[in-house]
Amino acid sequence: MIAIIDYQMGNLRSVQKGFERVGHAAAITSDPEILSKASHIVLPGVGAFADAIAELKRRDLVGPIGDAVSSGKPFLGICLGLQLLFERSFEDGEHEGLGILSGEVRKFDIPREYKVPHMGWNQVHFRKKAPIFAGINDEAYFYFVHSYFVVPKDPGVLDGEASYPNPFCATIWRENLFATQFHPEKSQSEGLRVLRNFAELA
């Protein structure tokens, strides 16, 4: 079973519908027991970093998320769900993240002609190409909506980059841990392929 972590931050139903469209049932839940029994875990997210961390703590989900990653089961972070995996964010102050990956979350510091948030379709160049991108061409387009991006300390976890206008981390991959800054559930056929590939990981 695929479990989508419910912490009241984001488009949970859209992610669930994305999995359903590729033939895989997914449950929206904040129950640690259900999360422990799930075969695949998804941490989605839209909104402010500080609010998200506070809500994860309030629901006692920080431990279960760490347990899920360390268990070896496939884990997918989406957008804010990617950023939360890192040590800290500088969104509206400085806030501690989950600390599963080393690094930080920074705001775009770019020329005025580029609007923030970065919103719309952008190409992703794959450095390593994680298994969730099987069958997807390099430089494929995905849909982004974000004002902040992650800067990993370990360059080895950086799986794919996009540019706005400078290169930034668009996807990460470390063993069973995958995450995307873009929204696969909003990225049409290529995004649905990502969800299918993730759901079919052993």
Residue 64 CA to residue 141 CA, distance in Å, equals 33
Residue 5 CA to residue 200 CA, distance in Å, equals 19
**Tokens 């859209």 belong to which residue?**
14
Which of 40, 118, 146, 183 is an active site residue? 183
Which of 79, 118, 146, 190 is an active site residue? 79
Angle 26-81-102 (CA atoms, 0-180°, nearest 5)? 135
Contact between 89 and 80 under an 8 Å Cβ cutoff? The reply is no
Which of 91, 95, 146, 185 is an active site residue? 185
**Does 183 participate in catalysis according to the annotation?**
yes
**Does 169 participate in catalysis according to the annotation?**
no
Residues catalogued as catalytic: 79, 183, 185
